[in-house]
Amino acid sequence: MMISPLLAAADTAGVGVAPAWVLAIPFLPMLAVVLTTLCAISKNKTKLPAWITVGCLAGSFVVTMLAFMTLSGETNTVTAWRWFDLSWGDGVGQQMVANLGFYIDNLSLLWMMFVTGLATLIAIYASEYMEHDVGKGYTRFFFAFALFVFSMLCLVMGDNLLLLYLGWEGVGLCSYLLIGYFYKKPEAVAAAKKAFIVNRIGDLGLAIGVMLTFVHFGTLEYAELFNSAQLQGYIAAVQEGRAGDVPLMAQLIAVFLMIGAFGKSAQFPLYVWLPDAMEGPTPVSALIHAATMVTAGLYLIARMLPVFLVSEWALPVVAWVGTITALLAATIGMAQFDIKRIMAYSTVSQLGYMFAGLAFLTSTGGVFHVVTHAFFKALLFLCCGAVMHGFAGQLDLRKLSGLWHMKGWRIVSVGMLIGCLNLAGVPFTAGYFSKDMILAEAFVTPGYGYSLLGWVLLLTAGMTAYYTFRVFFRVFTGPVQFEAGDEHHGSDDHGQDGHAHEDHAQGHFHPHAPGIRINAVLATLSVLAVLAAGLYFVSPDKHGWVGDMLEESTAHNVYTADHSAAAMFVIDGDTHGAHGHDDHGHADDHAAHGAHGGSILGMDPHKVMYYVSAVFGLTGILIAAWAHGPKGLVSGFIGGRVEAGKCRMDGVAAKLGPIPRWAENKWYVDEFYHFILVRPLRVCSHIFHMIDKLLVDGLVNLFGYLPRLLGRGAQPGQSGVLHGYALSMAGGVGVILFIVVMVTL
Amino acid sequence: MAEKLAYLWPEVTLFLATCAVMVIGLSPSAAVRRLCPLISGLSLAAAGIFAIGTTPTLADGAEGLMPGMLPYAKAIIAAVGILIVMLLAGTVDRGEEEELAAGVRKFDPLRLTSGEFYAFFLFSLTGLMLTASADSLIWLFLALELTSLPTYVMVTISTARSRAKEAGVKYFFLGALGAAIFLYGFALIYGGTGSVHLGEIHHQITLQMAGDGLNGITLAGLLISILGIGFKIAAVPMHYYTADVYQGAATPVTAMLAFVPKTAGFLALILLCSAIGWHYGETGHALPDTIRLLLWVMAVLTMTLGNVLAILQTSMKRMLAYSSIAHSGYMLVGIIAGPGATFTESGISAVLFYLLTYGVMSTGAFAVIASLERTHAERTQTGELAYDEADSIEAIRGLARAKPLLGWSMVICALSMLGFPLTVGFFGKLPLFTSGIAAGELPLVIVLGINSAIAAFYYLRLVSYPLFDEAGDEAGGFITTPMRTRPAVAAIGAVGVLAMTVFAGPLMGLAHDAVQPKLHDSDAPIADEAMPTEEAEPVAAK
């Protein structure tokens, strides 16, 4: 019998008890929530809320690092208290217990570290960025910010699916509150509603998945679930090629959880909310909509990987959806002009990579990309934010040029360059290593057309490099030209309180270079993004530090200690169900550096990919340089742009016909959804409204009238006359006694 | 005697504070008089601490039939009592004190009532705690009356308005009627069983049930006592006084009426029903058929009548009065279900937990109403100043925007009273449902469900008016009262609801432990609850 890697792991992986001080990690942000609430009640008009938030988050980060140093490599839980216990028996499935407990293993530690770390940095950034709102929305912003971090920590630290679900809804709520932060702006309100409603679809999937988990496995706690004989039995069955033995219900769980993950992590077809979410303040875009919340879906899949492994369809669907999303979002990103939207689409696209990476059974690649992406994408967003802040909301890359040469913008420019290099996957950056791992794994892993997906992802990598450097070359190089955004009139966003000054006498616009706090955060993040590449070299035989970390968690499924057993695993082409799961065997010998299950042009994919993806990435940058680069960048051939708004690409675009316009209009997906979903729903709702009005209302009114009628009937009894009351009471006693005695005796 | 005293320390503490307050309330110095509520609150805190420290043991012999209930019940009484005393602070003598401070009037101890007011409040709570400790019918009767009698006076002197006097008189006469009914019942029980001691009564009833069933006198006694105690919990048919009295009294006193007599009534019902024992009926886990039917009818009528009448109200105080009737109906389901092995199956722990949640959320809601008062005090015919609190529901339109603290407190408390999921009210109602189902009372649970839906009708008004409506003309006529403790209680009520939601598990655990038998003895009937079917024969053999 084949020994499942998880079975083997389950024997050794005892779940220990974490020390109580770990509780400080989620509760410090909660403290910030309480204190900012008190600030709101006391009508505080100072910057106090920002410093409270920064302090608490920094404290949380320090404790997280302590936890990392002392607890990594182990699986521990710590229970704050039992939230409720609605058990009605001792049997399996009769124990409905919800603990406010936290599960500390390497997977959650990874997320905890970058969530608290980035949140602290971005809170410092926001303390300056949001300055114009001091006394107005400042407290509200930091309240929601701290609440977000608390919810996110509940999500990743919770030791049961219920807490994960609560955290999931909590981050959704905070995301809604913060997207709609400028609630006087109709676009912001619409975007907030869109995000909330689209997420609802995903959340329904998650809710059903969680319920099915309880119904099927009788528990929601990870420790019990992953060690349950039931789940281990399924995994063993799949390993032995008896995938048909896994009940449909167990397979459906992963599918529903996957829908939840797609909603929160903005995957096709539910990705439409994320680009619109950029209406929120930029620190929010950086933290919530690029670095942390949108990776919740990946966390869910990584955390529940054992459950996904027993489902025949879930992971292949994840791979396909991830790849389609990556490609689709990249094509849209290439045609956008709003730099923040470009970053938003690139986030969607990169999330697609991560999902594909998880699905290619290299949780290492997927999660490594989550970590590196968190840093460089946060950096990119914060740089865009600095530009937006300084140019009164200007985000159009046709109206900005040459920031590199402007005084005070050097740190922003360098930060942007580092971020772009990472995103484009230029060799020896962190983004390069993490993306390569996913790409290589696509060719290694046999599956439903995975090598096709590999080529698509490679192509997408080239496109990513193109649109990334399109932004860089347009905005940061070339002649110094700029136009102010529409906010220097002091309408609603920033710029009102003297940040982007307009010299009224002259009509000139003076950009406002970022201050010390924004620059410090950008510099720190730049350094971190560069250093992140080093993570790859920490333990190269396990594909970097992240691989090393994940080996100790349930997200680890590939690089098992049991190579010999896995290597013997033979693909049984006739057993349909086994097909998608054979990957274990192949991935395993791959790890053992044995025969590879896949190859690219007959060579070791991991080695080849270093060169191939570098070529694709550099080609993309070259095209961007040719089309958008400034005159004199290298020679006469490359670049040639002398104005902010005109470049060689304009000529190319003209030849492509309507395609660029379609891409700019996001392939009309929103309109399509509107046509196939919103319009029919509206028609249906009108029909239902009629039915409701005529039929249901009548019935409801009838039933609603009944209590009123009863009430009216009883009301005269309440006459207010004392002796009437006394008589009624005595009479009532008599009547009831009579009835009771007559009926029973 | 000494053993009994050992866990009457909370009552002793309150009694000593009562004496102190009575004297201090007559002090010529306004500063000293103002200490009354403070002393009351501190003594309650001390009583609560004593209560938590009490661990009743069998050797003491003075505990009631639910020994574990004692510390829990007294602790929640002390906790909610502190909230109520904060709400009561400054309610009486307000006009007098202002005129004294302004020098319009000279100090006249006869005109001041704060000494009596707080002393009576403490007396009432002493009675309430004594109810929890009761082990005999006489004790139970005296404790119940000690709980109620002071409230008659408190209703009457709570405001200068004549409707308070009317309410007080009604409450007193009807209360006397109720007391007469259950005293008559108690007398019959004594006649039927030959004992006033609850443990002995339990023994006798077990014997009678093992034989030909309850004898006529015992049965009549039990039925009449339960109906009489129905007055305390405002159950049909003894509910008539509720709306008039709640509306007539000053709102802080109304908040007290919603918690104190109700708690006393339920503690008494729990004691009485545990003296009967849940070992009968078809399942062997129910009260004797007749008693069960009586409680069943009372529960259905009480919750339905309370809810349908509440829908019609435009006065918030009357609405909450009828809703308080309905809540009593819900809790009766728990009494019918009886104790069980787990929290979800135990109706008694459900009632004990519900009393705590209801105490906090209803006090919070009443505190919001008490915090809104008319911009100008009026002078009554007797020349006293009357500060009218908000009553019409129009007063809270747009409150969340105009006065966010009060508005949101009302929203949170009302949602919790409705039993909205993920509020403590939901966690409170859930075990009532589950214990009812576990006890096989499915029709009753369905009625409970329908009633919860009807209740949503008027509770959602308390949510939507402050939250979604614009403030109307009427709402403009109210300001936040200058008495700081009242909005504070509203906030504490709302925060308490949220905190209890978060800490629901530990609190449920306490309520569960309160019902679990800790002692084992053939005379301690509760010890046998776990194995009821085996009990009938051995006792009969004796």
Q: Is A704 within the bounds of a domain?
A: yes
Instruction: Name the 3-class secondary structure at A361.
Output: coil
Note the pLDDT tens digit of each residue in B165-214.
999 999 999 999 999 999 999 999 999 999 998 888 988 998 998 888 88
Are A366 and A355 in contact by the 8 Å Cβ rule? The answer is yes
Q: Is residue A686 part of a domain?
A: yes
- Answer with the residue of higher pLDDT: A642 or A195: A195
Instruction: Tell me if A347 sits within 8 A of A380, measured CB to CB.
Output: no
Of A430, A428, A330, A337, whose CA–CA distance to A375 is shortest? A430
Decide if pLDDT at A376 tops 70: yes
Of chain A, the percentage scoring pLDDT greater than 70 comes to 86
- Classify B372 as helix, strand or coil: strand
Q: Does B454 touch chain A (CB under 8 A)?
A: yes
> Which residue from B311, B312, B505 is facing A81, i.e. has the nearest CB?
B505
Tell me if chain B has a CB within 8 Å of the CB of A744: yes
Read off the pLDDT of residues A117-167 as tens digits, 9 standing for 90 and up: 999 999 999 988 888 887 778 899 999 999 999 999 999 999 889 999 999
Confidence (pLDDT) at A636: 55
- Measured between beta carbons, the chain A residues lying within 8 angstroms of B298 are 736
**Within-domain flag for A695:** yes
Give the gap in angstroms from C-alpha B273 to the nearest C-alpha of chain A.
Answer: 17
Q: Give me the pLDDT at residue A639, please.
A: 67
**Does B225 lie at the interface with A, CB-CB under 8 angstroms?**
no
The Cα-based distances of B347 to A157, B219, B323, B453 in angstroms read: 35, 23, 20, 21
pLDDT digits (tens, 9 = 90+) for B378-420: 887 777 778 888 888 888 888 888 888 899 999 999 999 999 9
Across the interface, of A88, A707, A733, the residue whose CB is closest to B344 is: A88
Three-state SS across A308-356? HHCCCCHHHHHHHHHHHHHHHHHHHHHHCCEHHHHHHHHHHHHHHHHHH
Between CA A333 and CA A620 the distance in angstroms is: 14
Selection from A341-350, A572-581, A685-694 with the highest mean pLDDT: A341-350
The tokens 């009632």 sit on which residue?
B351
How large is the ipTM? 0.83
pLDDT-based confidence at residue A480 (cuts at 50, 70, 90): confident
pLDDT at A256: 92
Residue B133, CB-side half-sphere exposure with 13 Å CA sphere: 31
Residues 375-404, chain B: which have Cβ within 8 Å of A? none
How many beta-carbon pairs under 8 angstroms link A with B? Answer: 114
Query: Which pLDDT belongs to residue A710?
Result: 78
Domain boundaries, chain B: 2-280+289-510
Q: Is residue A681 part of a domain?
A: yes
Are A722 and B342 within 8 A, CB to CB? no
3-state secondary structure of A487: coil
DSSP tag of B344? G
- Across B7-15, average pLDDT: 89
Find the domain containing A692 and state its range.
675-710
Other beta carbons less than 10 A from residue B401's beta carbon: 14
Cβ density class A284-310: b for 16+ within 10 Å, e for less = bbbbbbbbbbbbbbbbbbbbbbbbbbb
- Name the pLDDT band for A634 (thresholds 50, 70, 90): low
- Asked if the C-beta of A702 comes within 8 angstroms of chain B's C-beta atoms, the answer is no
State the smallest CA–CA distance between residue A174 and chain B in angstroms. 18
The reported pLDDT for the residue numbered B64 is 46
Query: Tens of pLDDT along A556-603?
Result: 654 333 332 333 232 333 333 333 333 443 343 333 333 344 555 566
Question: In the predicted model, what is the mean pLDDT of residues B39-64?
Answer: 74
Sign of CA dihedral A516, A517, A520, A525: negative
Phi, psi of B233 (to 5 degrees): -95, 5
Residue A89 at interface with chain B, using a CB cutoff of 8 Å: yes
Residue B1: per-residue pLDDT: 54
Confidence of residue A225 (pLDDT cuts 50, 70, 90): confident
Task: Supply φ then ψ for residue B341, to 5 degrees.
Answer: -75, -40
Contact of B178 with chain A, judged by CB distance below 8 Å, is answered with yes
pLDDT of A573: 33
What chain B residue is nearest to A38 in terms of C-alpha separation?
Answer: B405
Tell me how many domains chain A contains: 1
pLDDT for the residue numbered A14: 65
What are the tens digits of pLDDT across the range A92-101?
667 788 888 8
CB contact at 8 A, B515 and B348: yes
Of the two residues B118 and B341, the one the predictor is more confident about is: B118
Residue A688 in any domain: the answer is yes
Residue A576's identity, in one-letter code, is H
Minimum CA–CA partner of A740 in chain B: B294
Contact list, B238 vs chain A (CB under 8 Å): 729, 732-733
Residue A686: the pLDDT is 85
Query: What are the counts of helices (DSSP H) followed by strands (DSSP E) for chain B?
Result: 24, 4
- Work out the burial of residue A407: count CB atoms within 10 Å of its CB; fewer than 13 is exposed, 13-18 middle, 19 or more buried: exposed
For B395-463, strand residue ranges (E) read: none
Q: What is the CA radius of gyration of chain B?
A: 23
What's the pLDDT at B95?
Answer: 81
Q: Span A420-449, mean pLDDT? A: 84
Is residue A411 scored above 80 in pLDDT? yes
> Using CA atoms, how far apart are residues B528 and A397, in angstroms rounded to an integer?
80
CA dihedral sign, ordered A225, A230, A236, A241? negative
Euclidean distance between CA atoms A418 and A535, whole angstroms: 17
- By residue count, chain B amounts to 542
Q: How many CB atoms within 10 Å of residue A65?
A: 15
- pLDDT given for residue B535 in this prediction: 38
Instruction: Label the pairing between strands A501-503 and A481-482.
Output: unpaired
**Cα–Cα distance measured from residue B340 to residue B438, given in angstroms and rounded to the nearest whole number:** 9
Min Cα separation B4/chain A (Å): 35
pLDDT for position A642: 74
**3 state DSSP class of B386:** strand
Question: What pLDDT digit, counting tens, does each position of A292-306 carry?
Answer: 899 999 999 988 888
Query: Prior bond to B443 cis, omega within 30?
Result: no
Q: How many CA atoms lie within 13 A of A290 on its CB side?
A: 34
Considering only residues A569 and B50, tell me which one the structure prediction assigns the higher pLDDT: B50
Using a CB-CB distance cutoff of 8 angstroms, which residues of chain A are in contact with residue B227? 733, 736-737
- Check CB contact of B177 with chain A, cutoff 8 Å: yes
Cα distance between residue A121 and residue A492, in whole Å: 25
Averaged pLDDT, A647-675: 78
B182 in reach of chain A (CB within 8 A): no
Nearest to B116 by CA among B99, B96, B92: B92
The chain-wide mean pLDDT, for chain B, equals: 87
Q: How far apart are CA A595 and CA A586, in angstroms?
A: 8
Q: Is A725 on the interface with B (CB under 8 A)?
A: yes
Query: Residues A569, A570, A573, A574: what is their CA dihedral angle, to the nearest 10 degrees?
Result: -80
- pLDDT reading at A310 higher than 70: yes
Q: How far is B196 from chain A (nearest CA, A)?
A: 23
Q: Which two tokens stand for residue A664?
A: 């700019």
pLDDT at A5: 42
**A663 pLDDT above the threshold of 80:** no
Percentage of chain B lying above the pLDDT 90 cut: 54
- Any domain includes A691: yes
To the nearest whole Å, the CA of A205 is away from the closest chain B CA by 20
The alpha carbon of residue B102 and the mean position of all alpha carbons in its chain are separated, in whole angstroms, by 39
Instruction: Report whether pLDDT(B233) > 90.
Output: yes
Q: Which range is least confidently modeled, A501-515, A554-568, B198-212, B481-495?
A: A554-568
A24's CB contacts (< 8 A; 6+ apart) are A59, A60, A63
Q: Is the dihedral of CA A554, A556, A562, A564 positive or negative?
A: positive
Closest Cα partner for A552 from A2, A3, A12? A12
Q: Provide the token pair at A465.
A: 């490099």
φ, ψ of residue A678 to 5 degrees: the values are -70, -45
Where b means 16+ CB within 10 Å and e means fewer, B5-35 reads eebbbbbebbbebbebbbebbebeeeeebeb
Count how many residues are written for chain A. Answer: 745
Residue A659 identity: I
Handedness of CA A560, A565, A570, A571 (dihedral sign): negative
Flag if A83 and B342 touch (Cβ within 8 Å): no
Does the pLDDT value for residue B468 go beyond 90?
no
